[in-house]
Amino acid sequence: MSELPAPAARSALSRRTALAAALAVPATGLLASHAVAAPDAPPVQSPAARRPRPANAAAPDFGPNVIVFDPSTGGIQAKLDEIFKKQESAQFGTDRYALLFKPGTYGGLNAQIGFYTSIMGLGLSPDDTHFNGDVTVDAGWFNGNATQNFWRSAENLSLSPVSGGNRWAVSQAAPFRRMHVRGDLNLAPNGYGWASGGYIADSRIDGTVQPYSQQQWYTRDSSIGGWLNAVWNMVFSGVEGAPGNTFPDPPYTTLNTTPYSREKPFLYLDGGEYKVFLPALRTNARGTSWGNGTPQGQSLSLSAFYVAKEGDSAATLNAALDQGLHLLLTPGIYHLDRPIEVKKANAVVLGIGYATLIPDGGVTAVKTADVDGIRLAGFLVDAGPQNSRTLVEVGPAGASASHVGNPVTVQDVFIRIGGAGAGKATTSMVVNSRHTIVDHTWVWRADHGEGVGWETNRADYGVVVNGADVLATGLFVEHFNKYDVQWNGERGRTIFYQNEKAYDAPNQAAIQNGSLRGFASYKVADSVNTHEGWGLGSYCYYNVDPTIVQEHGFAAPNKPGVKFHHLLVVSLGGKGQYAHVINAIGAPTSGSDTVPSKVVSFP
């Protein structure tokens, strides 16, 4: 590890540990079973469907929570400050914002980004929209602790930071995509407090990325001038300038390329017309998709989209999809009495400003057909109070079609159970379609907020993968009552995984898994013959009963085709312990020093 300033050199505890320490409030939790066979609950009375009409691409109505700026707009800084003041500490608030900047140069701005706020340039290249200024996330609202800086994003901008370095001190669900920083990028809060991020993709950092106190980070298909240090788990794939593959000391996991990737769709202006760009699939990707001229991909006029707004019903959204329109979900909260059903090949469902879907009556929020090229991106699913069998289903059960040349992509799709209120779901995300790319997700059973308790926001399984040939890049899954990830499909691959086991297990018996003490964080089914993972970490903080022993963080069949590279488990402050890292392999954690136990390779 590179030398850190003294405040950051201390053990980097979890954000929940930090919360408990800061507020002296114990975390809480929940429990359930793996039966996921019940049908969706009958729909409640549906709101009347609006007749979906295509957007006016030259003058779309984005609604009141999308603010569009151009370089001649007056009072930009004042407007940014107004929104930040409302959103800075609104962790479970209901307001949502997307801040869109037309191409051009903007001087003297400091855009501070709070909860449920997305800032985005509207150029085809990040360099089309340039700030002589900063896009900042810090943690003053939480006494310098950045471990709860969730649900915010920056995309498609170029920055020349005023001080030479831009601060982006975030934790989960806060992507930094398609950005060009003409200087350094600091990932720690002022004062080097705790942070638990994070994700960078398709970005260029001319200077040095400075994680300081960040516990873990994943960077994909980017270019960096350098990387300062590592705490527990820093993973790179397809990153020009990445440090060497040196795990366990320092704990860098570096892949020269990403096996395949397709960047997230984005909104942009082409002259006076709004369009959505759909980046092309890349194999063995390395570096940004935009650094060598016009990016490869397809442009769709916004007139091919229905621009959805808060208050639109599932019936309206499905009617738009059924008539062949794509969906742009503007910032807001959408209550669903039935699933959004994405049936057509190459359909796009793109959210901006953390558009939030709440399934009512125990329904599933989103279901896709087993067809090529569907793109789901940029929205949050918040479980409702009546248990949903599933929240997101990628492909129907038994899906078997090959999508190798045109996969389904799931990007910046975040799932939350509890926190904003009581919520339940047996399984949060089920991936049935082959060749799906899950690129950056945070699937979170809440450990703090409202509606939190071992049975109150019960959720047994985070992500269940049944489809073959699925790739996960940037997989964050936390606090589920049983398996956080259960992988049943053949030839699955995961590049970077971050997990915390459920804090709130009341006792050892509550997590017993047959003869095993606890459910693994990441379980590869015994029937699987081929699987591979790089840079995976699991943490425990059993603060309700610190005597709990977790058998292992990872469980997998001992077969030649099942391989893991660079695994670690951590006991946060000695609240519970791991007996092993994977299966019966790896030293136990011990004591209260928050020192990882590591396995370099399995088998």
Structure confidence by residue, pLDDT tens digits, 53-89: 999 999 999 999 999 999 999 999 999 999 999 999 9
Residue 602: what residue type? F
Average pLDDT, the chain: 92
Are the C-beta atoms of 213 and 12 separated by less than 8 Å? yes
Q: How many angstroms separate the CA atoms of 594 and 10, rounded?
A: 10
Q: Who wins on pLDDT, 224 or 48?
A: 224
pLDDT of residue 294: 80
Percent of the chain with pLDDT over 70: 92
The whole-angstrom separation of Cα 414 and Cα 356 is: 9
Compute CA distances 56 → 272, 274, 302, 400, 475, whole Å.
11, 9, 7, 38, 36
Q: Is it the case that residue 272 has pLDDT exceeding 80?
A: yes
If pLDDT is split at 50, 70 and 90, which confidence band does 293 have?
confident
78's enclosing H/E stretch is: helix 76-87
Mean pLDDT, range 290-306, rounded to an integer: 93
pLDDT at 22 exceeding the cut of 70 = no
The two tokens of residue 46 are 């549906």
Q: Which residues contact 82 (CB under 8 A, 6 or more apart)?
A: none
Selection from 147, 128, 60, 125 nearest residue 98 by Cα: 60
Residue 32 has pLDDT above 60, yes or no: no
For residue 539, list its beta bridge partners.
Answer: 500, 570
Query: By C-alpha distance, which of 405, 428, 410, 432 is closest to 418?
Result: 428
| Region 122-129 average pLDDT | 98
**Average pLDDT in the 414-422 region?**
97
189 in Cβ contact with 138 (< 8 Å): yes
Read off the pLDDT band of 105 (50, 70, 90). Answer: very high
The amino acid occupying position 456 is T
pLDDT class of 47 with cuts at 50, 70, 90 = low
Q: Does position 34 have pLDDT exceeding 90, yes or no? A: no
Handedness of CA 328, 415, 524, 567 (dihedral sign): positive
Which amino acid does the sequence have at 419? G
Quickly state the pLDDT bin for 552 (edges 50, 70, 90): very high
Spatial distance between the Cα atoms of 47 and 49, rounded to a whole number of angstroms:
6
- Contact by Cβ (8 Å): 117, 83: yes
Residue 109 has φ and ψ, to the nearest 5°, of -95, 145
Average pLDDT over residues 466-495: 98
With residues binned 3-state (H G I as helix, E B as strand, rest as coil), the percentages for the chain, rounded to 5, are 10, 40, 50
Categorize the per-residue pLDDT at 48 as very low, low, confident or very high, splitting at 50, 70 and 90: low
The confidence score (pLDDT) of residue 292 equals 81
Residue 38 has pLDDT above 50, yes or no: no
pLDDT at res. 306: 98
Tell whether the model's pLDDT for residue 353 goes beyond 50. Answer: yes
- pLDDT > 60? residue 440: yes
| 493 neighbors 258 (Cβ within 8 angstroms) | no
Checking if the pLDDT of 5 tops 70, the result is: no
pLDDT band at 49 (very low <50, low <70, confident <90, very high): low
Is the predicted pLDDT of residue 17 greater than 80, yes or no? no
For the segment 144-170, the average pLDDT, to the nearest whole number, is 98
Helix (H, G, I), strand (E, B) or coil at 371: coil
- Residue 206's alpha-carbon distances to 16, 372, 463, in angstroms, are 33, 36, 35
**What kind and span of H or E run contains 180?**
strand 180-181
Catalytic residues: 500
Provide Rg for the chain, Cα atoms: 22
